[in-house]
Chain A
Amino acid sequence: AQSVTQLDSQVPVFEEAPVELRCNYSSSVSVYLFWYVQYPNQGLQLLLKYLSGSTLVESINGFEAEFNKSQTSFHLRKPSVHISDTAEYFCAVGTMLIQGAQKLVFGQGTRLTINP
């Protein structure tokens, strides 16, 4: 079985400061890793994903995450945050089941609050 642990339930930071949201996973099989963002009263939006290849993945809005297999981690980072980054962030592990079926296991989420 897979599990995901997001180590911080809330992270407050000041605008333009760097931020790291931590995510650790456990799995006995190869996994795909995702970060999703959820704004108030909205669904989930994919921020970035690791499927294979380069362990450093980037999003178009300045976030990046690095897959570390030995530490079973997939931490999300941004060098300088903006007020608009205020949201809840979810780390997820996906495993391919039969014939392409996928089940996502989510962490409990990290609420990122940006203070001016």
Chain B
Amino acid sequence: KAGVTQTPRYLIKTRGQQVTLSCSPISGHRSVSWYQQTPGQGLQFLFEYFSETQRNKGNFPGRFSGRQFSNSRSEMNVSTLELGDSALYLCASSSGRKPNTEAFFGQGTRLTVV
């Protein structure tokens, strides 16, 4: 069974640009969550999608958005990039239904904003 796949693995962008990150969940999983990991703030929850609907959102500005497609693949978009957006972005997939609450993480996309 293939794991969670995130693309690209590494990305360098300039301030003010926008970026789109992709996440393919484990087959059969319908929930995809996104997290931002930085040395200063640690791991922070961005949002979660289930069956193409955003079910929960963290405390991030509106520049951070996401979507989920009918095949459960998800994309995360960050517009007007700032230096502080440099981070490892992790995607996690799960069945999204009780009682199975285990989240499986991808290897992440390392975003560097210069």
Contact = CB atoms under 8 A, between A and B. Distances in A.
Interface of A: 32, 36, 41-46, 49, 51, 90, 92, 94, 96-109
Contacts of A105: 45
A35 to B, nearest CB: 12
B101 A102 contact: yes
B contact patch SS = strand
Interface of B: 4, 6, 31, 33, 35, 42-45, 48, 50, 55-56, 58, 90, 92, 94-99, 101-108, 110
A108 to B, nearest CB: 5
B50 A100 contact: yes
Contact of A98 (B55, B105, B108): B55
Given A46-B102, A49-B102, A94-B101, A101 B31 contact: yes
A25 to B, nearest CB: 14
Nearest to A108: B42
Contact of A97 (B56, B90, B95, B104): B56
B98 A96 contact: yes
A81 to B, nearest CB: 23
A contact patch SS = strand
B102 A103 contact: no
B50 A90 contact: no
B42 A109 contact: yes
A67 to B, nearest CB: 15
For the complex of A and B, list the 8 residue pairs with the smallest distance between their C-beta atoms, beginning with the closest: A106-B43, A43-B105, A101-B55, A44-B105, A100-B97, A43-B107, A108-B42, A43-B108
Nearest to B110: A41
B96 A100 contact: yes
A103 B107 CA distance: 19
Nearest to A102: B101
Contacts of A41: 107, 110
A8 to B, nearest CB: 14
A51 to B, nearest CB: 7
